[in-house]
Structure formats: C-alpha cells, structure tokens
C-alpha cells in the first residue's frame, strides 16, 4: 500500500506532467514575447492563475505575465508585436494585449496581460490600492493572494519559481496565503471573497487559519467598491460549485456585507412552527437550475434562483392553525432584488430581468391541474416575454419537495402547461403578442392624431387579443369603434358633470 508521502509525490508528479503539456501548447506565443523582453534587457515570467491552470491541465487562451519592465517600457516592447493593445489598467502597472498566433494546426487568439512587479495595500479608508513597483519576482509573488497563485515560470528558460509551496498546496487542493492571512486580507480585503470564489471554481478547501481571518476581518470588505464586489460575486455564482463558495460567504459573515438577504434566509424554526429551511431550499434550487442550463452558465437564471425567495423573511406569518405563510413574498422579493442588485451596480437590464423572474416565479402554482384558460396561458407568456425559457427552468427548479408523488404531479402539471404554450404558439404567434391593429391603423380608423387616446385604444385591443386570441381585421375594427363610442360618451358625460357643478370650467 502506498504511504502518504508516496501519494503526495504521485499528485505532484501528475500536476507537473500536466504543466509541461500545457506550457508546450502556448510556448510559441509565450517564448516569442519573452525573447522580445530579453532583447530589451528585461525579464518575463508566466505567473499566477496561468501557472496554476497549467498545472491543473486547464490553461486557456488568457495568459498573465509579470516583468521588471515599467509600464512605459512594456508598451514599447508589446506594441509592435501585438495585434491590439489596451492601457486601461496601466495606472496599476498592467498592459493588456491581443495576439493572433498559429498553435499546431489551428489559429488562436490570446488575451495577454503584462504587469510590472508590484506591491499594493489598502489603508483603513481607501477604496483603491496604492501601487508601488518592485524589483524582483520574489517580492511580487509574496503579495499574491494565495500560494497556488504565487507560482511563476521564468521565460524563455522555463524555470519554475515557487517560494511559498504553491505546488504542494495545489496537489493537496487547499487555499493558503503566502504570508499570514491577516496581512494578505489587510492588503486587499477583496481577497476574502476570492477565497470563496476559488473554492467554488476549483473545488478546493480553504485552510482553517484563512477561514478564521475571513471571519474576523469580514467588516473590512466595506472599503471595497461595489463594482469589484459584484464582479467577484459573479465569478463565484458562475463557477462549477457555487454552493461551496456561497456557504463559505455565509459561514464567515462576509455575506452580511455582500448579499445580506442570503443569510437572512436561515429562518429560525421551533417545534410548534416547523417549516422548510429556506436557505437550504435556495441552494438546492440554484443547483437544480444549473442542472437545467443548456448553453453554459447563465448569470440571469442563477441570480434569480439565488434571490427568488429573499422576500420570505419579511413576509413570514405564523397562522392560527400552526402553519407558516409567506403571502406575496414574490412581490416583496422582486423589490428587494432590484434594490440589492442596484446597490451592487448591476446593469439596468439585468436588474430588470432578474427582478421580473423573482416576481413571476410563483405564477405557475395558480395553474393547478390545468384549468387555466387560453387567456391565462397567453398572459403567462406575455408577462414572461423573452424570459419565458428561464422562467420554465426557475419554476421547475423551485420544486424541492421530498414527496416523490407531489414532485411528479408538479412536473406533470408543468409539462402540461408547456405543451399548451407550444400548441398556442403554433396557432397564434405567442412570442410576439400584439393587438390586431397597430397605432397607425388606430389613428386612421378613429380619425385622431398621436395622443393618450391612441394608447388607451391600443391597450384595450391588447386585452381583447389576450382574452380571445386573434380577432382578424374586421372584428378588431368593429371592437375598436364600439370602444371608441363608449369612450366618447364617457368623456362627454364627464364634461357635462363638471360644467353642471362648476360653470366656470366652460370659460
């Protein structure tokens, strides 16, 4: 039987073998760039996530380099070589570029970042790091967030540099910091969120001392900008194992400063008022939604799954019969979702879409055993709009009951609803429900110009379309004229009423 040391050596051998294979794949680009830096009198090394991913056998086309060259020198070297160059991060010592290259039998596009050796730290109130440049790679690596990201490969000689034992930690699948966790997180508090993100992305464990520091220093996250927090949260949510990262955020208290609505779902229960663990339910819904994704990670769907029940704590009521109710939690939750996502600086479109899904996630439960009218089905489709496919996935994911009979009944009912939607789509173009007459036709038939009356007429015809399905041109014209006659009488009656009670209005 192999002992622990033999297992460890075997694991190290495997990651080193993968690294050689991955580095050989990108060598044409990396070596070419390294020679240019060498000719200019500077050093260049592949670093951080690129080395880690090479060791894991998952190196992509995003390559991170570090150098002793200052940003202005990097620009001089890289401009004649790259196909495109960006200076967005140059204030922090980073120059980005794109390079098209032939690797093997295929043309590939590489996204490259070259960063000058540096050290950075936050003070107690600043939201931006203070950057100072370093003179050697060891100084650069010690400032990195975790040991598995504090490895480098000097180019073009391919010398492996690992002063903090990152290779062993990678083989053990554990996240540690190069220095003390307190020093690392004081330099950049966002690293606490990165610990949760890497745990979720890589399925690694976080070292106990790192978890302790995260718990004790969670409040330091307040100095980090909302945009940086949002971006880190997105990477976590879009990872392969988001439950792992989210659980870590909640357990360390970091979630209180990022997404406080999530830990609030851990509702207390007692022997008299037992109910589902909403927090655990939410994580299961997220996992089930992920299982239904068809074209890769879907941020809109995952956020909706994560936030769909955040209105429950505010709407929880203990009924006289001992049951627990959460009436209108979907409406309250949609408002809370909009507020939280806006605070995290999400785009208006994403805020709108996720909030809408949260608001609609219970709508199906009014379907029951299939007694919805065609009108109700049309409204369901109209209200979901382009989010219908995601609403299907969210609604199906929201079933976490352990009662197999109930779960099967819910699944059959939703199958039935989707079948009816498909049938109506074949008949009526449900994806673009609109009145049988457009605005121009309404104005022509009524003999009016643009104004509120046209909008009212359009809304009336839309309601008829939803209620009755396609009407045809003649029936729509007749319905419009009938509505207009009633609207004209109502308007005239209103004017006469005001004249009678306030003659001055006639002047």
User: Which tens digit of pLDDT belongs to each residue from 204-260?
Assistant: 999 999 999 999 999 999 999 999 999 999 999 999 999 999 999 999 999 999 999
Q: Rounded CA gap, 68 and 134, in Å? A: 7
DSSP 56: H
Coil, helix or strand at residue 87: coil
pLDDT at 217: 96
- The 10 Å CB-count burial string (b at 16+, else e) for 124-136 is eeeeebeeebbee
DSSP 443: H
- Look-up of token digits 């922090």: 92
Instruction: Annotate 165-223 with three-state secondary structure.
Output: CHHHHHHHCEECCCCCHHHHHHHCCHHHHHHHHHHHHHCCEECHHHHHHHHHCHHHHHH
Backbone angles phi, psi at 95, to 5 degrees: -115, 130
Q: Average pLDDT, stretch 467-486?
A: 77
DSSP 132: E
Least confident of 17-26, 340-349, 456-465, 479-488: 17-26
Q: What is the largest CA-CA distance in the chain?
A: 105
pLDDT at 3: 47
**Residue 319, CB-side half-sphere exposure with 13 Å CA sphere:** 9
Distance from first CA to last CA of the chain, Å, rounded? 105
Name the band, by pLDDT with cuts 50, 70 and 90, for residue 15. Answer: low
**Residue 392, CB-side half-sphere exposure with 13 Å CA sphere:** 16
Q: Average pLDDT, stretch 440-456?
A: 81
Encoded tokens for 466 = 């939803």
Q: Rounded CA gap, 343 and 193, in Å? A: 17
Top-confidence residue, 131 or 253: 253
Q: Average pLDDT, stretch 199-207?
A: 96
pLDDT in tens, 248-301: 999 999 999 999 999 999 875 544 344 458 999 999 999 999 999 999 999 999
Q: Rounded CA gap, 120 and 129, in Å? A: 6
Q: 240 and 200 in contact (C-beta within 8 Å)?
A: yes
pTM score of the predicted model: 0.78
How many other CB atoms are there within 10 angstroms of residue 184's CB atom? 25
Give me the residues paired with residue 109 across strands.
100
């Amino acid at each position: 039987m192999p002992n622990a040391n033999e297992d460890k050596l075997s694991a190290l051998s495997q990651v080193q073998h993968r690294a050689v294979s991955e580095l050989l794949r990108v060598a044409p680009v990396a070596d070419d760039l390294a020679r240019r830096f060498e000719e200019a009198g500077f050093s260049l090394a592949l670093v951080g996530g690129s080395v880690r991913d090479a060791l894991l056998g998952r190196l992509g086309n995003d390559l991170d380099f570090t150098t002793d060259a200052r940003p202005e020198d990097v620009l001089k070297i890289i401009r004649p070589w790259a196909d495109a160059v960006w200076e967005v991060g140059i204030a922090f010592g980073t120059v980005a570029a794109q390079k098209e290259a032939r690797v093997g039998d295929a043309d590939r596009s590489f996204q490259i970042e070259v960063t000058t050796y540096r050290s950075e730290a936050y003070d107690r109130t600043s939201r931006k790091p203070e950057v100072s440049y370093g003179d050697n790679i060891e100084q650069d690596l010690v400032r990195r967030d975790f040991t598995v990201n504090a490895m480098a490969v000097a180019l073009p000689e391919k010398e492996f540099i690992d002063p903090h034992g990152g290779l062993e930690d990678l083989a053990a699948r554990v996240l540690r910091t190069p220095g003390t966790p307190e020093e690392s997180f004081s330099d950049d508090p966002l690293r606490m969120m990165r610990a949760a993100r890497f745990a979720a992305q890589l399925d690694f464990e976080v070292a106990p001392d790192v978890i302790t520091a995260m718990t004790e220093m969670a409040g330091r996250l307040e100095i980090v900008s909302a945009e940086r927090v949002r971006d880190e949260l997105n990477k976590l949510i879009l990872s392969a194992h988001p439950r792992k990262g989210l659980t870590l955020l909640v357990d360390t208290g970091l979630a209180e400063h990022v997404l406080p609505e999530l830990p609030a779902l851990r509702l207390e229960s007692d022997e008299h008022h037992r109910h589902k663990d909403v927090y655990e339910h939410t994580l299961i819904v997220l996992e089930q939604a992920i299982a239904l994704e068809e074209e890769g990670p879907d941020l809109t769907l995952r956020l909706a799954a994560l936030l769909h029940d955040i209105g429950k704590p505010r709407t929880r009521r203990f009924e006289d019969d001992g049951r627990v109710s959460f009436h209108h939690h979907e409406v309250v939750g949609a408002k809370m979702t909009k507020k939280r996502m806006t605070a995290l600086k999400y785009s208006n479109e994403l805020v709108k879409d996720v909030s809408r899904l949260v608001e609609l996630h219970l709508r199906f439960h009014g379907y029951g055993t299939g007694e919805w009218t065609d009108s109700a089905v049309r409204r369901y489709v109209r209200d979901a709009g382009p989010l219908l496919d995601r609403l299907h996935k969210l609604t199906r994911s929201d079933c976490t009951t352990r009662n197999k009979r109930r779960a099967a009944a819910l699944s059959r009912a939703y199958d039935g609803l989707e079948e009816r939607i498909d049938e109506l789509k074949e008949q009526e173009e449900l994806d673009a429900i609109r009145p049988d007459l457009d605005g121009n036709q309404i104005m022509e038939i009524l003999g009016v110009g643009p104004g509120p009356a046209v909008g009212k007429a359009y809304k009336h015809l839309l309601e008829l379309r939803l209620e009755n399905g396609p009407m045809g041109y003649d029936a729509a014209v007749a319905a419009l004229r009938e509505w207009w006659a009633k609207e004209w009488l109502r308007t005239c009656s209103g004017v006469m009423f005001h004249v009678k009670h306030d003659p001055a209005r006639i002047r």
